[in-house]
Amino acid sequence: MDKVGQKLVRNLKSRKYEVMDGINSVDRVETLQIGRFSPDAYSQHNTSHPHGDDPNHNGGDGSQKSYRELGNDIEMTASVSGVVPDDTFTVAQAINALGFGKFQVMLSLFTGLCWMADSMEMMILSILSPALHCEWGINEYKQAFLTTAVFFGMMVSSPFWGDLSDKYGRRLALWVSVGLLFFYGTVSSFSPGYLWLVFLRCFVGFAIGCVPQSVTLYAEFLPTKQRARCVILLDCFWALGACLEVLLALVVMPTLGWRWLLGLSALPIFIFFIMCYWLPESVRFLAASGETEKALSTLKRIAKDNGRPMLLGRLVVDDMQQTERGRMKDLLMPEMRKTTLLLWFIWMTCAFCYYGVVLLSTEILGDTPRHRSLTSSPTITMFGNSSSSSTTLSPLALSLVQGNGTSIMSECKNPDHKMLTQSDYIDLLWTTLAEFPGILITIFVLDKIGRKNTMAAQFVLFALTIFMFCFPIEDRVVKTIILFAARGIVSGVFQAAYVYTPEVYPTSMRSIGIGTCSSMARIGAMVTPYVAQVIYKQSVALAAGVYGVIALMAAVVAIMLPIETKGKEMPDRVPKS
């Protein structure tokens, strides 16, 4: 091996990838561009190419040669004599080369906290409705309208936040939105009446509309091989948030009431608001915005945190990325129109079915007879709510009241209305826990059969499961098992959609793509209360049939998607038709 080769091997062994010393700038240059490199690669290159030491040898045709070591993520380029190679790399190559490490783990925790807080705010809807039904005597239409108001705020705001994210950055949009979410979530706990509560919770929905952008930010930092798995695992935080909300309600509702529940549920989003100070901006967004210095700085931060060497060369960005971003009309250009329209229906169905199961859980379990632990106790006023009637407390709630004399909520003023009991909350917790196995199954299936087939199969399974309620079922355990299965399946298909969507849209329209999909999802979520809380009161079979038929339609739509993203890098430009 010549002196240059020996020096290259020594530098590689010491993890120093710069090999420019001792090589004339107009002679051949060997530069590592991507990933990790085996010290034996150079000697293998020389063995395979006896003219490798001759700087004037160019393969006989004067063209540039590339040699790739199979099985190792390396790429070496040899340029002809007299030409200085323009060594470049893209953001996608850098993210893949720097791999998954400490940086992505910390980002997972940051983003996961945001998802957990969002889940708690959404889970409140199924718990708050029966409480207001009892305390204020609102009918099922007003119950449904309160839920619809939240989703209306989300629907209106989702494109707005997507546009803001594509123009000014994912981090800024998230920071502003979670600040608004904490403010309105806290203020809504002081609502003096039904209309005020509807108004304030609508603004809570407006702020929540930006939360899906956290998935965009997260996915843009993930290597291709780990992306689907990590985005799906993010749903663990959503499931955790839903479980925490049920447990919080189990303790707070019998003792302090729904106002305290609203206030305490806003605390996790306040923690995330503070943590946004350390949240990094998307490298893809920075590069597409022409801020290459900031993008390189973030890449160096990733390299340092992950213990990987930073890539040499110049960061390049496709000129197509630096055009105007965040234009909704681009989603309907010929190359993306079919994908966008089909995804809108899929997202609408996901939200329609998912929140339908969430709302049905309290309706079905609340209407089913169960054994209760009844204990009477006087009521003390909280937040100006007065009542003199006795209340039904679980043993846990009773121990809390007896221990510190804290205020407790009253039972329903109308004897026809029912408060959720400890048994209801426990069964609701069981159905919520179904999301964890749903996540694990989806992780396994996504990379086996692809994104499209996974969504189609899960929609069919959900339809078959929910159709069971078309038949008379009296046993409470059987109902809980069916709800458990339906919740797990529909949460899985929702996460599959969250994986597929950022993978199919290019950087220039990724946020607006997710934003509009999220907006369409809220249309489904706005409609579902009238099925789960109004039609259900008239006919359980009809309500179940509606969910099943819509899910089967979505399965067909998923198969019709023109692009399968399994194993592909996230695109930086619109694919050619």
Predicted local confidence at residue 413, as pLDDT? 57
Structural domain contains residue 576:
no
The residue that leads in pLDDT, 526 or 11, is 526
The predicted model gives 50-79 an average pLDDT of: 38
Residues 6+ away with beta carbon under 8 Å from 183: none
The residue that leads in pLDDT, 81 or 195, is 195
Predicted local confidence at residue 131, as pLDDT? 82
Structural domain contains residue 565:
no
> With bands split at pLDDT 50, 70 and 90, how would you rate the model's confidence at 3?
low
Structural domain contains residue 51:
yes
Predicted local confidence at residue 408, as pLDDT? 38
Predicted local confidence at residue 29, as pLDDT? 32
The predicted model gives 504-509 an average pLDDT of: 81
Structural domain contains residue 487:
yes
Of 1-5, 72-76, 129-133, which gets the smallest average pLDDT? 72-76
The predicted model gives 343-363 an average pLDDT of: 90
Q: How many CB atoms lie within 10 A of CB 441?
A: 16
> With bands split at pLDDT 50, 70 and 90, how would you rate the model's confidence at 401?
very low
The residue that leads in pLDDT, 312 or 34, is 312
Same domain (yes/no): 469, 487: yes
Percent above pLDDT 70 for the chain: 72
Residue 575: enclosing H or E segment and its boundaries? none
Predicted local confidence at residue 423, as pLDDT? 78
Percent above pLDDT 90 for the chain: 20
Same domain (yes/no): 288, 400: yes
Same domain (yes/no): 154, 54: no
User: pLDDT tens across 183-198, in order?
Assistant: 999 999 998 888 999 9
Q: Is the pLDDT of residue 463 over 90?
A: yes
Highest mean pLDDT of the ranges 51-65, 212-226, 534-548: 534-548
Same domain (yes/no): 62, 115: no
Structural domain contains residue 571:
no
The predicted model gives 138-147 an average pLDDT of: 81
Same domain (yes/no): 385, 437: yes
What is the β-pairing status of strands 314-315 and 88-89?
A: parallel
What is the Cα–Cα distance from 101 to 344, expressed in whole angstroms? 34
Structural domain contains residue 318:
yes
Same domain (yes/no): 184, 161: yes
Predicted local confidence at residue 412, as pLDDT? 60
Number of domains in the chain: 2
Secondary structure E strands in 292-444: 314-315
Predicted local confidence at residue 69, as pLDDT? 36
- Structural domain for 28, as ranges: 3-86
Q: Determine contact, residues 276/173, Cβ cutoff 8 Å.
A: no
What is the Cα–Cα distance from 363 to 529, expressed in whole angstroms? 11
CATH of the domain at 163: 1.20.1250.20
Predicted local confidence at residue 346, as pLDDT? 96
Same domain (yes/no): 101, 76: no
pTM attached to this predicted model: 0.66
Last residue within a domain, chosen from 86, 115, 135: 86
> With bands split at pLDDT 50, 70 and 90, how would you rate the model's confidence at 228?
confident
The residue that leads in pLDDT, 71 or 539, is 539
The residue that leads in pLDDT, 399 or 245, is 245
Q: Determine contact, residues 179/131, Cβ cutoff 8 Å.
A: no
Predicted local confidence at residue 214, as pLDDT? 86
DSSP string, 230-293: HHHHTHHHHHHHHHHHHHHHHHHHHHT-HHHHHHHHTHHHHHHHHHGGGPPPPHHHHHHTT-HH
Tokens describing residue 332: 């309907």
Same domain (yes/no): 448, 532: yes
Picking from 53, 201, 177, 115, the residue whose alpha carbon sits closest to that of residue 529 is: 201
Mean pLDDT computed over every residue of the chain: 75
Of 15-24, 214-223, 464-473, which gets the smallest average pLDDT? 15-24
> With bands split at pLDDT 50, 70 and 90, how would you rate the model's confidence at 53?
very low
The residue that leads in pLDDT, 4 or 79, is 4
The helix/strand count (H/E) of the chain reads as 23, 5
Structural domain contains residue 282:
yes
Highest mean pLDDT of the ranges 58-62, 313-317, 569-573: 313-317
Predicted local confidence at residue 318, as pLDDT? 57
The predicted model gives 501-511 an average pLDDT of: 82
Structural domain contains residue 575:
no
The residue that leads in pLDDT, 303 or 11, is 303
Predicted local confidence at residue 20, as pLDDT? 36
> With bands split at pLDDT 50, 70 and 90, how would you rate the model's confidence at 179?
very high
Last residue within a domain, chosen from 38, 62, 86: 86
What is the Cα–Cα distance from 179 to 285, expressed in whole angstroms? 22
Last residue within a domain, chosen from 86, 110, 130: 86
The predicted model gives 273-279 an average pLDDT of: 88
What is the Cα–Cα distance from 345 to 526, expressed in whole angstroms? 14
Distance of CA 266 to the CA centre of its chain: 19
Of 305-319, 348-362, 379-393, which gets the smallest average pLDDT? 379-393
Q: Is the pLDDT of residue 288 over 70?
A: yes
Q: Determine contact, residues 108/232, Cβ cutoff 8 Å.
A: no
Q: Determine contact, residues 554/349, Cβ cutoff 8 Å.
A: yes
> With bands split at pLDDT 50, 70 and 90, how would you rate the model's confidence at 1?
low
Same domain (yes/no): 161, 262: yes
Same domain (yes/no): 454, 418: yes
Q: Determine contact, residues 452/343, Cβ cutoff 8 Å.
A: no
42-73 CB burial, b ≥16 within 10 A, e <16: bbebeeeeeebeebebbeeeeeebebeeeeee
Same domain (yes/no): 354, 376: yes
Same domain (yes/no): 9, 46: yes
